[in-house]
Structure 1
Amino acid sequence: MTLKHSLLAVLVAVIWGVNFVIIDEGLDGVPPLVFVALRFVLVAIPAVFFVRPPTIGWRNILAIGTFLSLGQFCLLYVALHLGMPAGLASLLLQTQVILTVVISAGFLGERPTRRQLVGIVIGTFGLGIVVVGHSVTAPWVPLVVTLGAALSWAIGNVLSRRAKAASGLSLVVWSALIVPIPTFALALMLDGPGTVFGALSSLSLVAILSTLYTAVAASLIGYGIWNTLMARYPTSAVVPFTLLVPVIGIAAAWLVQGEVPTLSELLGGAVMLTGLAMAVIRLRKTSRGGSLEVPGSGPGAEGQGLEPIGEKVDDSLR
C-alpha cells in the first residue's frame, strides 16, 4: 500500500474505534435494531439520489450489504444493548482479522506473505491477551453475539474484495438500502410497535448526534475508504489496520465512560501494534540509508504475493 492509503486506513481505524463509545451512548433508550435502521436510512438517503450504483451487479450488492452492514451491525448493536462494554466490544470484533484472511485464502486463493502472516499472528496473539484478561467480567451471551458480528464482517470483507467495486462510497450507499426495512421489521416483532414508535418520537439529542456520527463518519467516510482499499489491495494488506481499532476504542471508553484499561489491555494493545507494523510496513536499505516502504507500493510487489495496483480508484482517495 502507498503511504497515503496507509494513512487513510489509520484514519478509518480512529473513526471506527471512537464509534463504539458513540454507539453505546446513543443506545440509551433506543432499541438496538431501531438504532441500526436509523443509521442506514441516513447512510442511504439522500446520497442514493446523487451517487451512481456500483457496477458489480445487484446480487453482489445484496450479499455485501447483508453481511457487511445488516449482519455485522445488528449483532454488534444487540451485543452492546445486552451489556457488552464498548472497549471490550472493539477488541472482540477484531477476530474478523484472522477470519477474513482465512476465508479469503479459501475462497479467493489469496495467500498472505510470510511476513504479513507472522504480523497477523502476533496481532491476534495480542488480542488474545486482552480477551483472556477480560473473559471473567464479560457475559457470555453478548460475547458470542459480538463474535457473530465479527464473522459477518469478515464474510462481507471477502465479498467486497471479490466484487472489486470501483467506488467504495457507491457500494456503501447502495448496500445501505438493504438494511432499514429488515431491521425495522425485526424491531417491530421483537420490541413491539409501542416501544419502537415511542422511541422514535422521543429521540434524545445524544441519540440523534450518535446516529449522525455513525452514518456520516463511520459508514459514508469510513466504509467508503475501506471498501475502496479492499478492492484495490489484497485483504492481507488492508485488514491488519483494523488492529488499531481496539486501541482507539479502549482509549475512548476510558476517557468518556470511565472504563479504565487493565494491564492486559495495555500489554495486548502494544503487541497488536507490533503485529500491525510487521504486517504492513517493512524497511528497505538504499544508497542513502534506510527508507520506509509500505509493501505493495514499490518494485516487485507482485513477487511479494500482492496484486499489481490497478488504475481505477475512488476519487476520494486520489
Structure 2
Amino acid sequence: MQGRDLLLIISVMAIWGFNFSMIKLGVSELDPLLIAAARFACATFPIIFFIRKPDVPWRYLIAYGLVFGTGIWGMASCSITFGLSSGMAAVLLQTDVLTTVLVGVLLYKEVISSRMAAGILISLMGLVVSIFYTNGNVTLAGVAFIMLAAICWPLAGVILRSSGTRAPFAFNIWGMLFAPLPLMALSIAMNGWGVLSATYQQWGADAWISVLFQAYPTTLFGYWVWNKMLLKYPMSQLAPMTLLVSVFALLSGYAIYDEQLSLAQWISCSTFLLGIALVLYPQRNKTPGESDRKLPAASQDRAEASVP
C-alpha cells in the first residue's frame, strides 16, 4: 500500500472514530433518532442532485435507507443516549463482524475456518467481560441497542449485494434519501408529536456541529475515500483497518468526555478486538496463481457497506 493512501485511510479511521464523540455531542440533550435523521438529510442534500441514481429497483434503495439509517445508526445513537459511552459504543459495534460471519454461513454457505472460530470465541469472551466489568460506561439498554445495530449491519451489506449495483457510492447516497422519514416516524411513535417542537426549540450549536460532522467529514468524505480505496486495494487488506475506528473512538472519548475504562475493560476490549482481527484475517487457502487473500463474501459486504 502506498504511504499516501495509508495516511489517507488512517485519517478516515480517525474521523470515523471521532464521529462517535460527535454523536454523543448531539444526543446528550436531543432525541437521538432526530439527530440521526438530520444527519442523513444533510448528507443527502444537495449532493443527490449531482449524483445519478444507480440502475437498481427502488425497493433496494428504500430497504437500504431503512436498515442503514434506522437499523444501524438510529440504534447506535440510541445506545449512547441510553448510557453506553461513545468509546464502548464503537468497540461493541465491531460485533457486526460476528453477525456478518453468521449471515455468511446462513446465506452464502460459507465455512468457518478454525482460525475464524478461535477469533469468534476470543471476541465473545472479551465482549462478556467488557459488559459485566463496567464502571458505569456500559448499560444493558445501551448494549441492547448497539447489538441491534450490529445485527442490521450485515443486512445492509446483503441489500447492497442483492441489488447488483456497480456504483456503491451512488447507491449509498440515494439509499440515505429514505433514512430520515423512518427515523422521524419512529421518534414520533416513541415520544409523541411534541418531540419535534421540543427538538426545534432546543436545537443549538452543539446539535449543528454534531450533525454537520456526521454528514460531511464522516459520511460523504469518509465513504468517498473508502470507496476509492476499495477499487484500488483488496478488501482483505482494507477491512482490518476498520479496527482503528475503535481505537480512535476510545481516545476521543477520553480526550473530550474523560471517558474511562476499568483495567478489566482495557484487557477485555483488547481481547475482543484481537478476536475480531482473527476473524478479519481468515486463513489463506493457497491455489495456483493466487496473488491476494480474499475475504469471505459476507465480509466483503461488510467492507463495502461500512461507513460510520
- Report the TM-score when normalising by structure 1: 0.76
Structure 1 unmatched ranges of 5 or more: 283-293, 308-313
Task: Return 162-171 or 111-120, whichever deviates more.
Answer: 111-120
**Letter paired with 1:145:** F
1:300 matched residue in structure 2: 290
Inter-partner Cα distance in structure 1 for 2:238 and 2:117: 13
Q: Structure 2 vs 1, CA of residues 112 and 161 (structure 1 numbering), >3 Å: closer, same or farther?
A: farther
Give the percent of matched residue pairs that are identical in Structure 1 and Structure 2.
27
Query: 1:78 — aligned with what?
Result: 78
Q: Are residues 254 and 90 of structure 1, via their aligned partners in 2, closer, same or farther at CA, if it must alter by over 3 Å?
A: same
1:185 matched residue in structure 2: 185
Instruction: After TM superposition, give the deviation of residue 306 of structure 1 in Å.
Output: 6.5
> Is the contact made by 1:281 and 1:295 (CA closer than 8 Å) also made in structure 2?
no
- 1:51 alignment partner in structure 2: 51
Greater shift, 41-50 or 113-122, is seen at: 113-122
**More deviation in 71-80 or 196-205?**
196-205
2:201 maps to 1:198: no
1:183 to 1:68, Cα distance in 2 relative to 1, 3 A:
closer
Which residue type is aligned with residue 221 of structure 1? F
Match of 1:160 in 2: 160
2:123–2:276 Cα contact (<8 Å) kept: yes
Match of 1:31 in 2: 31
How far off its partner does 1:240 sit?
4.1
The answer as to whether partners of 1:295 and 1:301 remain within 8 angstroms in 2 is no
Query: How far apart, in 2, do the equivalents of 1:164 and 1:295 lie?
Result: 27
- Partners of 1:262 and 1:137 lie apart in 2 by 9
1:259-285 deviation line (CA, Å, top 9, x unaligned): 122223332344455456656679xxx
Alpha-carbon distance between aligned partners in 1 of 2:252 and 2:59, rounded to the nearest angstrom: 37
Q: Is the 8 A contact 1:100 1:154 kept in 2?
A: yes
Code of the residue aligned with 1:54 in structure 2: it is: P
Q: Counterpart in 2 of 1:286? A: none
Question: Is the contact between residue 120 and residue 275 of structure 2 (CA under 8 Å) also seen in structure 1?
Answer: yes
Once the two structures are TM-superposed, the CA of residue 148 in structure 1 deviates from its matched residue by 0.8
Deviates more, 1:88-97 or 1:237-246: 237-246
Aligned length, in residue pairs: 297
Contact 1:168-1:226 at 8 Å conserved across structures: no
Q: CA deviation at 1:50?
A: 0.4
Matches of 1:11 and 1:80, distance apart in 2: 24
Q: Is the 8 A contact 2:69 2:183 kept in 1?
A: no
Code of the residue aligned with 2:49 in structure 1: it is F
Question: Bigger shift: 202-211 or 119-128?
Answer: 119-128
Deviates more, 1:209-218 or 1:189-198: 189-198
In 2, Cα distance between equivalents of 1:234 and 1:15: 22
Which residue pairs with 1:209 in the alignment? Answer: 209
8 Å CA contact 1:108–1:162 kept in 2: the answer is no
Q: CA deviation at 1:304?
A: 6.0
| Alignment CA distance shift 1:72-1:305 (3 Å) | closer
| Per-residue Cα deviation, 1:235-266 (whole angstroms, up to 9, x for no partner) | 87755443333222221111111112222333
Letter in 1 for 2:70: L
Contact 2:68/2:156 (CA < 8 Å) preserved in 1? yes
* Distance in 1, Cα, partners of 2:165 & 2:194: 40
Counterpart of 1:61 in structure 2 is 61
Instruction: Give unmatched runs, 5+ long, in structure 2.
Output: 298-303
In structure 2, how many angstroms separate the alpha carbons of the residues matched to 1:32 and 1:172?
21
Alignment TM-score, normalising by the size of structure 2: 0.78
Aligned-pair RMSD on alpha carbons? 3.9
Distance 2:198 2:140 in 1: 30
Q: Assess if the C-alpha contact under 8 Å between 1:87 and 1:250 holds in 2.
A: yes
CA contact (8 A) 1:87 1:253 kept: yes
Alignment CA distance shift 1:279-1:96 (3 Å): closer
How do 1:227-246 residues align onto structure 2 when only pairs under 5 Å count? 239-246=239-246
> 1:73 aligns to what SS in structure 2?
helix
3-state SS in 1 of match to 2:16: helix
**Shift of residue 180, structure 1, vs aligned partner:** 1.2
Larger CA deviation: 32-41 vs 122-131: 122-131
Q: What CA distance in whole angstroms lies between the structure 2 residues aligned with 1:160 and 1:227?
A: 14
Q: Distance in 2 between matches of 1:143 and 1:31?
A: 18
